[in-house]
Structures are given as structure tokens and as C-alpha cells.
Amino acid sequence: MRALTIGRYQPFHKGHMNVIWEISDVVDEIVIGIGSAQISHELDNPFTAGERVAMIRRTLELNGFKGMSYIIPIEDIQRNSIWTSHLESMTPPFDIVYSNNPLVVRLCKEEGYEVRHPPLFKRDEYSGTEIRRRMIEDERWTHLVPEGTLEVIDEVDGVQRLKDIVREED
Ligand code: ATP
Ligand code: MG
């Protein structure tokens, strides 16, 4: 069985990683969709699709992920009624969807998919919004992302990028 999960992964964090590990206990293959793929260099979406692919790929590898995974950027479209077709056009066929996003859940259910809700891990800390806030405010955040993701953020000077974006928006 092949499952789809989707997030923006700005950045990929340990909550996301836990979800992927839990799903892979249940299914044979996992499709990881990177949402809002076309957006980067913005306060809520600092990283490019390619950088997010690298975060996830390296994290899976460094942590010895055993399952089969496909990491696929998915651009937004402005028409929710055909979003699942758009999604399906970019991914291998999947049988089941893991999501807590109300719109994703609704659209996938309407299309006939079984939707499961992955449990949230330490949501107060394992949160993209919280991690970006900490990066900007020079608070401790590195323990909230997996090692492979940390490497990619360092490589692209991600924290400085975020701080520059904040300054430019002032
Ligand atoms: P942001 O604050 O930027 O929205 P986020 O932490 O909510 O980031 P997203 O990139 O929006 O993460 O991805 C959303 C998906 O990730 C959802 O399906 C959600 O269930 C899952 N997710 C987010 N945080 C956690 C967490 N702490 N534990 C488990 N799953 C999580
Ligand atoms: Mg979110």
C-alpha cells in the first residue's frame, strides 16, 4: 500500500519526521508532497522546493529510513475543485492520505480517498511557525529539527535569509 502525506515543510521538523516514521510502520511506500512548492523567500515560506527536498532526503538517509519514499514538490493552484487531479498528476498513485489540514482532508475525501489523521507530536515546539520565530529572535531552535535538515539550513544560510526577509519587510 502507498500513502500520501503533505506539508509545506518550512522547515521540515521532528514532528514531520515522527509522522513519516509512524506511517512507514503501516504502509509499504510513502509519497511526501511538498506543498506551496512555488513559494520561497517569504516570511512564512523561506525555503525553496529544492531546499525542502534536500532537507527531507538527507534526514531520511541520515536516520536510516528503510522504506520507499517519493519526495514531490506540489505547486498551489487557484482552483480547489480540481486540486486532487493536479496532485494526482504529480505523484505515483496512492491508496490513502494522511493529513490534518481541513481543506486537504475535505478534497481527498470528496475524491473517495481514505483519510487518516496522524497524531501531533509536541505541537507547541514542533511547529514551523514556532521554529521560524525562534530563528528570527535568536532563540534555541536547532533541537527541533533533524540533523539532516539542520545541515541544509546551514548550507543555504537559512537563518540569515529569514532575518533579511524580516528586515526587508519593515
Ligand atoms: P507552519 O507553522 O509553517 O504551518 P507546520 O508545523 O504546521 O508549519 P506544515 O508544513 O504546515 O507544518 O505541515 C503540516 C502537516 O504537518 C500537517 O499535516 C500536520 O499534521 C503535520 N505536523 C505539523 N506539526 C506536527 C507535529 N508537531 N507533529 C505531527 N505532525 C505535525
Ligand atoms: Mg501548518
Average pLDDT for 155-159: 98
Which position has the higher pLDDT, 169 or 24? 24
Q: Is the CB of 113 under 6 A from ligand 1?
A: no
Ligand nearest to the CA of 56: 1
Average pLDDT for 150-155: 98
What pLDDT is recorded for position 24?
Answer: 96
What pLDDT is recorded for position 21?
Answer: 96
Q: What are the tens digits of pLDDT across the range 63-120? A: 999 999 999 999 999 999 999 999 999 999 999 999 999 999 999 999 999 999 999 9
User: Residue 82 carries which side chain, given as an amino acid letter?
Assistant: I
Ligand nearest to the CA of 99: 1
What is the C-alpha separation between 55 and 15, in angstroms, rounded? 14
What number does the ligand 1 atom closest to the CA of 5 have?
18
Query: What's the gap in Å between 81 CA and the centre of ligand 2?
Result: 21
Determine the residue of 12, 13, 16, 126 to mutate for testing ligand 1's pocket, defined as the one with the most ligand atoms within 8 A of the Cβ atom.
16
**Sorting pLDDT into bands at 50, 70 and 90, what band is 138?**
very high
What pLDDT is recorded for position 72?
Answer: 98
Is the ipTM reported for this complex over the cut 0.90? yes
Map grid coordinates 531552535 to a residue.
Answer: 141
What number does the ligand 1 atom closest to the CA of 44 have?
3
Query: What's the gap in Å between 84 CA and the centre of ligand 1?
Result: 20
Query: What's the gap in Å between 101 CA and the centre of ligand 2?
Result: 8
What pLDDT is recorded for position 170?
Answer: 73
What is the C-alpha separation between 33 and 109, in angstroms, rounded? 17
| pTM of structure | 0.97
Ligand nearest to the CA of 14: 1
Q: What are the tens digits of pLDDT across the range 19-69? A: 999 999 999 999 999 999 999 999 999 999 999 999 999 999 999 999 999
What is the C-alpha separation between 62 and 84, in angstroms, rounded? 32
What pLDDT is recorded for position 169?
Answer: 81
CA torsion angle for 12, 30, 62, 117 (degrees, to 10)? 50
